A and B are shown apart, each in its own frame.
Chain A
Amino acid sequence: MINPEPIWKAWFAKHGGKLLLFARQQARHPDDAEDLLQEAFVRIWRIYGHTGEVSPGLVYRAIRRLAIDWARSLDRRKIREQKVYLESSWFSSFERNLEKDERNQALIRAVSQLPKEQSEVLTLKIWGELTFDEISRTLDISLNTVASRYRYALQKLKESVPRELNGRSTEK
């Protein structure tokens, strides 16, 4: 028997959080992230949804391209004003685990302070669970660039996270 539950709901429950995280990273304004994801998802699902199997990479790519299109329509001054909101939005993009909260916050903060090129590769690899090949196609960069950005990002986190935690403990 056919269950009346559409496949997209199960698909969205599985990938929606990760996609929203990437959309928040790509959006110029936190309020745009949901609109960005909605627009990208609907476009892709309308074309490939009938198969019931849509590669998340397609939606990630659509999010990125839409974000670039939308950014062109914003003026530079607005983008500068909005940058301050992005960091708070980034923190609210993760579930809070009270036991590990301090360490997690330090990690998330460190990720948010990475250069954008590195943080987007890291996000797609860690939370998007994409392969390097999928990331290179999503971001339109070479495989070697993806691998090196990922390596640099981890190296920076390795250096910055313990330092940040030490800094917090001395503050107390």
Chain B
Amino acid sequence: MDTEDIEKELRSISPVKPSSDFCDRVEHALGEAGTVAMCHLPEESSVEQKETSPKIVNFLQLAGIAALLVSGIFISIELLNEYPFMDNQNSSVLSVQPPNMVEDEDSPIHGLTTEQLEGYSDLPTVGWLDPFTEQRLIMKVDEGVIDRASGIPARQFRYHYLDETLWTHPASETRVLSTTPRQEVYLIDLELY
């Protein structure tokens, strides 16, 4: 028996893995430092892409409506500047209700029907798929040691994310992509020696 065989045999003996109780203790001791770096698992990612939770869907639908509302306001301003029913000389508010202004409960903009909204914005108002959202980590920056008000020094890490939301309208082959930059700052307490 030579030393290579001994090496092989030794490697075949596996050390015992730490118990779950011990892992829980380590997790508790790590505290916030344990949650700074997170796993990106592609298989779970694909599941999440297919099944967006109802809460997120509701939130994003609201966000979509809000986006339409904002675009509608801009369109309205354009309309007010163009149409004669606006009394620009005396006041900046509408003085006359135009005859074609009707209430449409489905429209996010008062005084504008969904058909009118579609016409002015060139965007359909129905038939949109559930939005697809993605949170992308752009970079993480170690900003060094800072002094906290408590006197305990901490290491500061800044995470830069880009939150993307994609709305898709298959019938008109329209896609609207919204990107929002976001930052998260983590402070990790340092021990004084």
Contact = CB atoms under 8 A, between A and B. Distances in A.
Chain A complexes with chain B: yes
A3 B114 CA distance: 39
Interface stretch (A76-84, A90-98, A130-138): A90-98
A9 B9 CA distance: 28
Contacts of B1: 158, 161-162
Interface in A1-20: 1-10, 12-13, 16-18, 20
B46 to A, nearest CB: 9
A6 B3 contact: no
Given A38-B25, A94-B14, A6 B49 contact: no
A111 to B, nearest CB: 7
Interface string A95-130: 101001001100110010000000000100011000
A172 interface: no
Interface stretch (A41-49, A60-68, A139-147): A41-49
Interface stretch (B32-40, B70-78, B123-131): B32-40
B37 A5 contact: no
Interface in B26-52: 26-27, 29-30, 33-41, 44-45, 48-49
B15 A18 contact: yes
A75 B7 CA distance: 36
Nearest to B5: A158
Main secondary structure of the interface of B (DSSP, over half): mixed
A34 interface: yes
Given A1-B45, A12-B18, A47 B13 contact: no
Given A12-B18, A93-B15, A107-B13, A3 B190 contact: no
Given A8-B37, A103-B9, A50 B23 contact: no
Among all A-B residue pairs, the 10 with the closest Cβ atoms: A52-B37, A17-B15, A154-B3, A21-B15, A7-B37, A16-B18, A1-B48, A46-B33, A17-B17, A3-B41
Chain B contact patch, size range: 35 or more
Interface of A: 1-10, 12-13, 16-18, 20-21, 34, 37-38, 41-43, 45-47, 49-52, 92-95, 97, 100, 103-104, 107-108, 111, 122, 126-127, 151, 154-155, 157-158, 161-162
Nearest to B48: A1
A107 B190 CA distance: 42
A42 B37 CA distance: 14
Contacts of A5: 38-39, 41
Residue among B2, B27, B37 with max Cβ neighbours from chain A (10 Å): B37
A4 B37 CA distance: 10
B37 A3 contact: no
